[in-house]
């Protein structure tokens, strides 16, 4: 994929040199026609500008494709109460292909900076959970595992997926001492989990 984009970029640069000093006219007659639409998810800050340039110079001159646009920029996510992220994820499920730009997952500082209604969750996590997908974290290289296949010299690589736990967790801020409890049921067996808040901003777990 990187080689294809490099070739397209070189062709684009050559085209710019040939048309320098005159009005640039793009010839779209020879473009590849995509049969199905692509879900386009815009992002935050510089990624919006970079993605616009990529479309202008590397995609649209060579590919005729319908893009279904969803603005996942933080202000628009806040304006729609993050519904735009959910809509984009369901659009990907329908059309099978989506391109997403980098987005901001807000923290306390971003909530104050953008005057957000709340600390919205990660768009990547929301989309991934709706699609039932996963993502690779940093792989683990195992160079010391014996190779049973003769001539096998490359290390064994373990792909570590992001799933559950902190990737689906919801953060809360405890503003005053107190105690809350949660009860889970698995069939006829009930497991009671008590969270004792013994100080501000800190939670101790008791099972």
Please count the other Cβ atoms lying within 10 Å of the Cβ belonging to residue 204.
10
How high is the pLDDT of residue 10?
56
pTM exceeds 0.85: no
Which residues is 172 bridged to in the sheet? none
Residue 194 near residue 178 (C-beta atoms within 8 A): no
How high is the pLDDT of residue 137?
73
Question: How buried is 119 (Cβ within 10 angstroms: 0-12 exposed, 13-18 middle, 19+ buried)?
Answer: middle
Q: Which runs of E-coded beta strand occur in the chain?
A: 32-33, 38-42, 63-64, 67-71, 98-100, 140-142, 156-158, 178-186, 189-199, 202-206
Strands 202-206 and 189-199: antiparallel
How high is the pLDDT of residue 167?
65
How high is the pLDDT of residue 85?
97
Per-residue pLDDT 10s for the chain (207 aa) are 445 445 554 555 545 544 443 444 455 568 999 999 999 999 999 999 999 999 999 999 999 999 999 999 999 999 999 999 999 999 999 999 999 999 999 988 999 999 999 999 999 989 988 998 877 777 788 888 777 888 888 888 888 777 666 666 666 777 777 776 666 656 555 555 554 555 455 444 444
Q: Which two tokens stand for residue 12?
A: 């684009």
How far apart CA 145 and CA 153 sit, in angstroms, is: 11
């Amino acid at each position: 994929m990187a080689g294809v984009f490099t070739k397209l970029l070189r062709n684009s640069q050559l085209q710019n040199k040939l048309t320098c000093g005159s009005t640039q006219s793009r010839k779209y007659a020879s473009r590849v026609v995509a049969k199905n639409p692509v879900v386009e998810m815009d992002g935050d800050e510089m990624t919006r500008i970079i993605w616009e340039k990529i479309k202008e110079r590397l995609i649209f001159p060579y590919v005729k494709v319908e893009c279904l646009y969803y603005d996942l920029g933080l202000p628009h996510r806040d304006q729609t109460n993050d519904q735009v992220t959910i809509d984009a994820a369901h659009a990907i499920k329908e059309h099978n292909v989506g391109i997403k730009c980098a987005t901001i997952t807000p923290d306390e500082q971003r909530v104050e900076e953008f005057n957000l209604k709340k600390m919205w969750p990660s768009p990547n996590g929301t989309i991934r959970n709706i699609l039932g997908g996963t993502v690779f974290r940093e792989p683990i290289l195992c160079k010391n595992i014996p190779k049973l296949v003769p001539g096998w010299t490359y290390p064994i690589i373990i792909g570590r997926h992001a799933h559950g736990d902190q990737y689906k967790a919801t953060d809360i801020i405890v503003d005053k001492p107190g105690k809350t409890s949660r009860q889970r049921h698995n069939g006829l067996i009930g497991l009671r989990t008590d969270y004792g808040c013994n100080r501000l901003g800190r939670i101790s777990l008791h099972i």
